[in-house]
Structure 1
Amino acid sequence: MSSPIPEPRGPNVGSELLVVAGDEALMLTTAHRTIVAADIVDFGQHSRNNINQVRIRHGMYKAMQAAFDAAGIPWSSCRHEDRGDGVLVLVPADVRKTLLADHLPNALVEALVRHNRIHPPRERIRLRLALHAGEINYDQHGVTGYAINHTFRLLDADATRSALKKNSSAVLAVIGSAWFFDEVIRHSELSQAKAYRRVEVSNKETTTHAWVRLLRPPVMRRLHAPPNP
């Protein structure tokens, strides 16, 4: 399910392209977008029934919307397309990319922790999140483009999947493309760039490197009772 966002217009949109497909002329609109792809870890595991999956999907969307809004990226301004066990989000070009590097990861962890605190183990959520940017093509069916393919290759890479092992306490693995890390993450003092580690990615036709960061729930400070008199 995609959000009811109209075709892109404005100064950040490229010119329309006329593409001939057989005996049809197709009009494509191109635009630069920041790309966010999310995927639920072990969504289809056997212990989860259909009702569990519905609650997990609802929790993922609720967490994503809350995190985007908290990071200063209005969810309503983005285009989002359902991917079954995940979601594709296209962020307008006039939204600062530093917001996704600096604030979105921690805000998403907080939202996931809120969900997991009130749900049983079978309905708790851990996410993989990929960050990239590039040119997107809009047509009458939706969106496509090399940059979107590249983002999902990173999201599905073994390096990303292995980061969230079953015994890991992390609830979020963020993978930034080489471009996104070099141009955005490493230039920001708030992005925790040193927490990312470089990984090699080989997935289908994609061979590249990227940068992965694991985020765990914040440690709750225990209040110690006063000593006995």
Structure 2
Amino acid sequence: MSQDAPRLPLSTGEGLPSPVPTTLAAVDICRFGARSNARTQLHLRREMYALIAEACRITRVPWAASYREDRGDGALFIVPPDVAAEHLLDPFAHHLVAVLRRYNRLSSHAAQLKLRLAVHTGRVHSDDHGVTGPALVHLFRLLDAPAFKKIAADTADLAVIVSDRLYTDVTEGGGLIDPTAYKPQRITCKETRTRAWIWTPPAH
């Protein structure tokens, strides 16, 4: 967990920590391991965090108030429960594409940055060591699914995968996202077999 990142609330009684219903997002730098130069990897990590924070600021998603964990080649962040889940799809993902494209236009070939983003909603347990729970496992199964990685590899700048639960909640609840912009995809990753929804930005 980041030193300055807020903690999720813990239960004070015995048994499982009190679960917090919220929206979870995980970001991964595509082909990070192929960048064997440590200086380049550090640069990409720094820029990834800066771009996520900028997209959050534009979207009014409270990055400073979100729980965050570094993942080496990516990051996990969990927004406060009062943030509407759909905000992580639209406008956040759209703003992230915009700042990514601006960054890539101004960067060298070696410093180009392409991201995968997974978004899910569910209950998260926290303890002294961080966070856990089935929702977190599901989030990373989506992010790491081979089918999603293949789509991301063929997409410029950003590819987004959304859990079926979140997509259904947002589209059936009258959210402002365009349901037709998301394409269904069967996902198989380890023990997970599910349907998810993928959004890729229009070519520019």
Higher strand share: 1
Paired position in structure 1 for 2:63: 75
Other structure's SS at 2:20 match? strand
Match of 2:14 among 13, 18, 27: 18
Deviations 1:184-212 (A, max 9, x none): 14655642321111111111111111001
Match of 2:23 among 34, 58, 73: 34
User: Percent of counterpart pairs with the same letter?
Assistant: 36
Greater relative CO, 1 or 2 (CA 8 Å, sep 6+): 2
Matches within 5 A, 1:1-229: 1-9=1-9, 16-19=12-15, 28-46=17-35, 48-165=36-153, 168-185=154-171, 187-188=173-174, 190-216=176-202, 219=204
Stretch deviating more after TM superposition (93-102 or 128-137): 93-102
How high is the TM-score relative to the length of structure 1? 0.82
Superposed CA RMSD in Å reads: 2.0
Runs of 4+ in 1 over 2 A off after TM superposition: 3-9, 27-30, 185-190
How high is the TM-score relative to the length of structure 2? 0.91
Instruction: Give unpaired runs (5+ residues) of structure 1.
Output: 20-26, 220-229
Higher helix share: 2
Q: How many residue pairs get matched?
A: 204
Measured at CA, do residues 215 and 118 of structure 1 come closer, stay the same or move farther in structure 2, by a change above 3 Å?
same
Aligned partners of 2:117 and 2:160 also within 8 Å: yes
Residue 30 of structure 1 aligns to which amino acid in structure 2? P
**Radius of gyration: which is bigger?**
1
